[in-house]
């Protein structure tokens, strides 16, 4: 892979978000991309849209894979943030089983406290509330925090930080369990966030932190999960480094199928690594997750997917086929923009999230419509953008498919079903 001079320069001058080393190895350059979740109203289509470099580096010191650019979090997650977690049944089920497992494993009751960082619309904490376990959600997005309060989940409408943790601890609020799903990778102040966990956690408390697993990302070529909101791409090795810097210990971990492959990291204040963890960390060393070589052909495989998807859609369009897309979420923004599929080739994008209907995808400016549109309109091909919910979506669309509708699945390799 030949990297541009600019990318090489940016990598060489970048500082690692975990160990502070200056100088990262270049891994992948996706070019300038709009913020992936920042959908637009019709009126905004004429305005100039902001775009930022989206490129990835690897730290040879602590093994952390990370994007080089940090976009202002207020801009990404503030008042215009539109992501509501509760729109996928599979994700809701996943959260429920996590909650029930923690209640049993940690023997939680009415005297416990469960705190969730980035609690979104309260869909996860609700499971604890139903079992009589006190909770506190913390989330900076006002609409989601309001939605959580509405279903009985007390929520602090703030960015979690060292300061917020200190304030809560001073009020006597410390946590038996801290949950953070898909948030550790999102925070710009990684150290403040982890230090906050240390402050908020009771001495024998446990933090259960989920994040997409770099091994799945690389092995299955899930490059569209790389976006400005995801600053870090963790391995056990990298999390172990990060926690130790804050007097916390990675003690256990569990691989999960969510988001194309994630890891749940169990973290505590005493070092007591499980046998399973030791085995998984040894595996990481064996496949070389801490070495530059492991990431070497990743960028080439990404190029192949981009080229093949572009070729296929262009050919189908030339044949007069009508093509739409499914899933107006972040990875859809990255896939469509990085392949250059805009409203001249994709008629519209359907999505289950009613809050997004009538809005437009960032960058490519494709309108977002309800999912029911597929059956009414019966287009020829649907590019399936949230491939992590592939089974669920294909099942839901069995009628559309039985009438001849086809899905194009781009990852891990382009295919039509």
CA distance 86 to 163: 29
Query: Which CB atom, from 59 or from 364, has the smaller least distance to Zn ion?
Result: 59
Could you tell me how far CA 116 lies from the centroid of its own chain? Answer: 16
Shortest gap between Cβ of 238 and Zn ion (angstroms)?
8
Please check whether residue 237 is in contact with residue 281, taking contact to mean a CB–CB distance below 8 angstroms. yes
Query: Which CB atom, from 239 or from 414, has the smaller least distance to Zn ion?
Result: 239
Shortest gap between Cβ of 50 and Zn ion (angstroms)?
28
Shortest gap between Cβ of 14 and Zn ion (angstroms)?
10
Q: What is the SS3 assignment for 380?
A: coil
CA distance 18 to 314: 42
Please check whether residue 124 is in contact with residue 99, taking contact to mean a CB–CB distance below 8 angstroms. yes
Please check whether residue 252 is in contact with residue 268, taking contact to mean a CB–CB distance below 8 angstroms. no
Could you tell me how far CA 260 lies from the centroid of its own chain? Answer: 10
Query: Which CB atom, from 21 or from 202, has the smaller least distance to Zn ion?
Result: 21
Report the DSSP pairing between strands 65-67 and 232-233. Answer: antiparallel
Report the DSSP pairing between strands 201-212 and 232-233. Answer: unpaired
Query: Which CB atom, from 121 or from 195, has the smaller least distance to Zn ion?
Result: 195
Query: Which CB atom, from 171 or from 293, has the smaller least distance to Zn ion?
Result: 293
Shortest gap between Cβ of 245 and Zn ion (angstroms)?
10
Shortest gap between Cβ of 15 and Zn ion (angstroms)?
9
Query: Which CB atom, from 61 or from 69, has the smaller least distance to Zn ion?
Result: 61
> Which stretches of the chain bind Zn ion, using CB under 5 A?
16, 18-19, 21, 59, 61-62, 64
Shortest gap between Cβ of 64 and Zn ion (angstroms)?
5
Please check whether residue 121 is in contact with residue 86, taking contact to mean a CB–CB distance below 8 angstroms. yes
Shortest gap between Cβ of 59 and Zn ion (angstroms)?
3
CA distance 327 to 74: 24
CA dihedral sign, ordered 175, 181, 184, 186: negative
Shortest gap between Cβ of 21 and Zn ion (angstroms)?
5
Query: Which CB atom, from 62 or from 178, has the smaller least distance to Zn ion?
Result: 62
Query: Which CB atom, from 63 or from 258, has the smaller least distance to Zn ion?
Result: 63
Radius of gyration over every alpha carbon of the chain, rounded to an integer in angstroms: 21
Residue 174 backbone class (left: φ over 0; alpha: ψ -120 to 50; beta: rest): beta
């Amino acid at each position: 892979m030949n990297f541009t001079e600019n990318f090489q320069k940016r990598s060489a001058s970048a500082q690692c978000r975990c160990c502070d080393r200056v100088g990262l190895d270049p891994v992948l350059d996706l070019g300038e991309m709009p913020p992936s979740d920042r959908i637009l109203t019709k009126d905004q289509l004429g305005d100039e849209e902001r775009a930022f470099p989206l490129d990835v580096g690897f730290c040879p010191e602590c093994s952390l894979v990370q994007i080089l650019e940090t976009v202002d979090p207020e801009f990404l997650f503030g008042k215009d943030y539109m992501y509501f977690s509760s729109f996928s049944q599979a994700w809701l089920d996943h959260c429920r089983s996590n909650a029930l497992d923690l209640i049993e494993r940690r023997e939680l009751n009415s005297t416990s406290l469960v705190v969730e960082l980035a609690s979104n619309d309260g869909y996860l904490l609700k499971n604890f509330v139903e079992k009589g376990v006190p909770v506190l959600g913390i989330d900076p997005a006002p609409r989601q925090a309001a939605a959580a309060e509405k279903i009985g989940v007390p929520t602090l409408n703030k960015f979690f930080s060292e300061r917020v943790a200190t304030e809560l601890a001073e009020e006597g609020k410390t946590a038996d369990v801290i949950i953070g799903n898909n948030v550790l990778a999102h925070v710009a102040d990684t150290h403040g966030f982890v230090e906050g966990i240390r402050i908020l956690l009771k001495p024998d408390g446990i933090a259960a932190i989920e994040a997409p697993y770099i091994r799945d990302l690389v092995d299955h070529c899930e490059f569209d999960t790389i976006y400005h909101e995801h600053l870090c791409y963790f391995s056990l090795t990298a999390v172990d480094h990060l926690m130790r810097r804050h007097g916390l210990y990675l003690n256990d971990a569990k691989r999960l199928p969510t988001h194309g492959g994630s890891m749940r990291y169990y973290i505590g204040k005493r070092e007591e690594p499980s046998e399973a963890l030791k085995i998984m960390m040894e595996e990481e060393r064996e496949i070389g997750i801490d070495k530059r070589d492991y990431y070497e052909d990743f960028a080439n495989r990404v190029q192949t997917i981009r080229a093949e998807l572009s070729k296929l859609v262009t050919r189908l369009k030339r044949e007069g086929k009508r093509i739409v897309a499914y899933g107006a979420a972040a990875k859809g923004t990255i896939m469509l923009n990085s392949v250059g599929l805009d409203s001249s080739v994709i008629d519209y994008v359907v999505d289950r999230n009613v809050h997004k209907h009538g809005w437009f995808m960032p960058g490519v400016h494709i309108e977002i419509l309800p999912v029911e549109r597929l059956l009414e309109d019966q287009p020829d091909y649907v590019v399936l953008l949230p491939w992590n919910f592939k089974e669920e979506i294909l099942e839901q669309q069995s009628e559309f498919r039985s009438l001849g509708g086809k899905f194009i699945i781009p990852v891990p390799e382009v295919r039509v079903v």
